[in-house]
Amino acid sequence: MQATQDQLKAAIKKYVFDQNEPVVVSIVGSWGEGKTWFWKNEIEQEYLDKNTGYISVFGVNSLDEFRQRVIACAIELLGKQTKQRFKDRIPGGKRLGQVSNFVKENWHHVADKISETMGIPDKMATQLLESKMLKEGWVLCIDDLERASDSINIIELMGYINLLKEDHGLKIILIYNDQVIESNHGEYTRYHEKVIDWQLRFSPDLKSVIERIFDEENDSYIDKLIEKCRVLCLTNNRILSRVKHMYSQVVEVLPDHANEEYLFDILNSLMLYVWIRYGQHEYTVLSLDYMREYESLIAEMRANEDKDEESKNAHSLISDYGYIATNSVDQVLIQFVETDLLDKDKIIMEYEAICSDVESARISANHQSVWQQKFHGTLVENETEFCDQLITATREYLEHIALESLDITLMSLIRLGRKEDADRLFEEFKTVRSGDIQSKESSAFGEKLDHKELVAFVDKERNKNTKDTRDVSQVLRECDMRLLSQKDRKRLAEFSKEEYIDYFMSHSKEGLVKEMYQLGRAADRITNPDEELLKIKGIMQSVAKEIADMSELNKMRMERTGLLVDN
C-alpha cells in the first residue's frame, strides 16, 4: 500500500507498536526520499520508551557479518536498558553507557572467547549470543537492504530475517529501494511475500521536506520551490540538501539583504544544475556542458528539421522549469556544481553588476514617472512641483541618463525659468560623466541635441575618447572610395607620405594604381572640398612623384593617374 506520512505513522503504530505479535514490515521507496530520516526522526523519537534498534546493511559482505551487526545492536539495546534501569539507583551509573559502548565495539572478542572456551564453532557461538541477547518484542530496523554486497545470498538473508521474527520474536522494519533490490537480487521477488507481512510505500511530503531542508516558513517561497521540484520530479532529500548547502555558500559571500529575486534565481539555477548532475533522470542529453551552451544548442535544434525526440523533450522540460538562458552568473554556478569550488570574486562581481542594472532601471523609471505624472498626465498649473521633482529625479539619474533625455530636461528647465538649476545639473553631469561618453558612428548625432553646451561637451569627449588607430591598409579596405565618410577622410589625411609609399610598394593587387588615382582625385569630385580632402590630394601627388622617380615603368604608371604635377 502507498501512504502519506501520517498514514504511514498510523500503519506502523498499528502493525508494530500496538500489537505483541512479531512481524516484518517493509518501507519501500526511491533513494534519497527520506525513508531513513522518517524512521529516525518521526518514529524512533515518538517511541523512545520502546526498545528500538537500527542496523544498516550498507557494506555488509556476508551473512555472518550481518549477524555480527545484529548482535552489536543487541548489545547497544541491552546497554540502554541497563542504563535506564539503574540510572537513579546506582552511584556512577552514567558509566554503564560507556561500558556498553566498549562491549559493542569489541563484541567479536567475546564471541571468539566463547568459541575458544567452549570448543564450539564460531557460528554456534554467534547463535548462542543471539539466543541470550535478543529479546522478544524488540523492534529492529534493518536499513539499506538493497545496498548489501552481491556476494550475499538474498535468500539466506531473507531466511535469517524470518528467523529473527519466528525464533526470537522480534518486530522487524525493513527499509529499502524495492526497484533496485529487484534489479540486483532477482530472487527477492520470489521470496519477499513469504517473509514480509506488510509492505508500505513511502510517499514523501514535498512541502514538509522543503520546509525542513530549507528552513523556510514563507508559504509563497515554499510553493515556488515545490513547483520547480514537481517539474523535475525531484523528491530526493540528498539532492535537495546539496542544493541548500551550495546555495548557503553563495549567500554567505553576498551582502546582507541581497535582492530576494536575484537570490531565488540563483537557487532555481542551482537546483536544476545539481539535479542534472546527481539526479536519476531519463534525459541523457542533459549535462552541465549542455547547460553551458544552452542557447546555441537550442538555436541549432530549431534550425535542424530532423530534431530527435529526446532533445525536444529535454528542451520542453527546461522550458517548463522556467529556464530561459544561461547568463554569466549561471556560468559561475555551473562551474561550482561541477567542481564544488565557488568562485567568490566572480559571484560578487556579477551581483554588483546586477544591482547596478536594477538601480539604473529604478531611477530611470522614477525619472520617466515625473514626466508621465507631472507633465503628460495633467493640465494643472504645477510648474514648480514639476521642475522640483524633475531636478531631483535627474540628479539621481545623471550617471546613467541618456543624452537625449538630459537635453530635453535641460531645455525644459531653461524654458520654465530655471536656468540656474539647469546649469548646475549640467555641471554635475560633466563631473559624473567625463570620460564616459561613448562613441557613435553617426557623425550627425549632435544635431539631435539642442543644448549647445551639451553638444560641445559631447563632441569634445567623443573626440578625446575615440582616437582612430586604423592603418592605411585597414582604412582603404573598409572605406567607400566613391564617397569617403568624414571619419575616413580624417584618418586618411593623418597618414604621412612615407606611410602611403610603404603601403603601395608592399602590396600587389588588382586596381592598386586605380586606388591611388581615386584617393588623389577625391577632392576634384566635390564642388567645395573640405580641408581633409585637399590635404589627401597633396599627399598623393607627393607620393606619385616619389614613386615615379623609382623607375621609368613606375613613372609611366604614375602619369596615367594624372597625379604628377610640374614643379
Write out the E strands in 356-448: none
In this structure, is residue 566 part of a structural domain?
no
Cα–Cα distance measured from residue 272 to residue 135, given in angstroms and rounded to the nearest whole number: 48
Cα–Cα distance measured from residue 491 to residue 508, given in angstroms and rounded to the nearest whole number: 23
Helix (H, G, I), strand (E, B) or coil at 437: coil
In this structure, is residue 325 part of a structural domain?
yes
Q: Which domain holds residue 482?
A: 472-561
Q: C-alpha cell of 430? A: 560633466
In this structure, is residue 348 part of a structural domain?
no
378 and 495 part of one domain: no
pLDDT of residue 445: 41
- Beta-carbon contacts of 301 under 8 Å, excluding residues fewer than 6 positions away, are 307, 311, 312, 315
DSSP 165-208: HHTT--EEEEEE-HHHHHHH-TTHHHHHHHH-SEEEEE---HHH
**How many H-runs (helices) and E-runs (strands) does the chain carry?**
28, 6
The distance from CA 437 to its chain's CA centroid, rounded to whole angstroms, is: 34
Sign of the C-alpha dihedral computed for residues 440, 444, 449 and 455 taken in this order: positive
In this structure, is residue 540 part of a structural domain?
yes
pLDDT of residue 62: 86
In this structure, is residue 230 part of a structural domain?
yes
166 and 62 part of one domain: yes
pLDDT of residue 307: 64
51 and 67 part of one domain: yes
195 and 233 part of one domain: no
Which of 153, 173, 204 is the last residue in one of the domains?
A: 204
251 and 148 part of one domain: no
Helix (H, G, I), strand (E, B) or coil at 35: helix
In this structure, is residue 539 part of a structural domain?
yes
User: Are the CB atoms for 243 and 334 separated by under 8 Å?
Assistant: no
Between the CA of residue 24 and those of 50, 130, 199, 205, 559, what are the distances in Å?
Answer: 17, 18, 9, 24, 110
| Count of the separate structural domains present in the chain | 4
Q: Which uninterrupted H or E stretch holds 25?
A: strand 23-28
The long-range contacts involving 251-260, CB below 8 angstroms and separated by at least 24 positions, are: 253/342, 253/344, 253/347, 253/348, 254/347, 254/348, 254/351, 255/351, 258/351, 259/354, 259/355, 259/358
Helix (H, G, I), strand (E, B) or coil at 26: strand
327 and 359 part of one domain: no
CA neighbor of 170 nearest in space, from 124, 126, 139, 205: 139
- Beta-carbon contacts of 121 under 8 Å, excluding residues fewer than 6 positions away, are 115
pLDDT of residue 1: 45
486 and 449 part of one domain: no
328 and 370 part of one domain: no
Cα–Cα distance measured from residue 351 to residue 340, given in angstroms and rounded to the nearest whole number: 20
Cα–Cα distance measured from residue 120 to residue 106, given in angstroms and rounded to the nearest whole number: 20
140 and 220 part of one domain: no
140 and 284 part of one domain: no
199 and 214 part of one domain: no
Between the CA of residue 449 and those of 150, 402, 404, 420, 464, what are the distances in Å?
Answer: 81, 11, 7, 19, 19
pLDDT in tens, 453-486: 998 888 888 777 567 788 999 999 888 776 777 8
Beta strand 198-202 pairing with 23-28: parallel
Q: What is the CATH number of the domain that holds 76?
A: 3.40.50.300
In this structure, is residue 26 part of a structural domain?
yes
Which of 204, 230, 249 is the last residue in one of the domains?
A: 204
327 and 313 part of one domain: yes
Q: Where are the alpha helices (DSSP H) in 233-259?
A: 237-253
pLDDT of residue 441: 36
Task: Considering only CA atoms, give the Rg of the chain.
Answer: 41
In this structure, is residue 47 part of a structural domain?
yes
pLDDT of residue 109: 56
Which of 465, 495, 527 is the last residue in one of the domains?
A: 465
Structure letter (DSSP) for residue 398: T
Low-confidence ranges of the chain (pLDDT < 50): 1, 88-93, 96, 99-100, 439-447
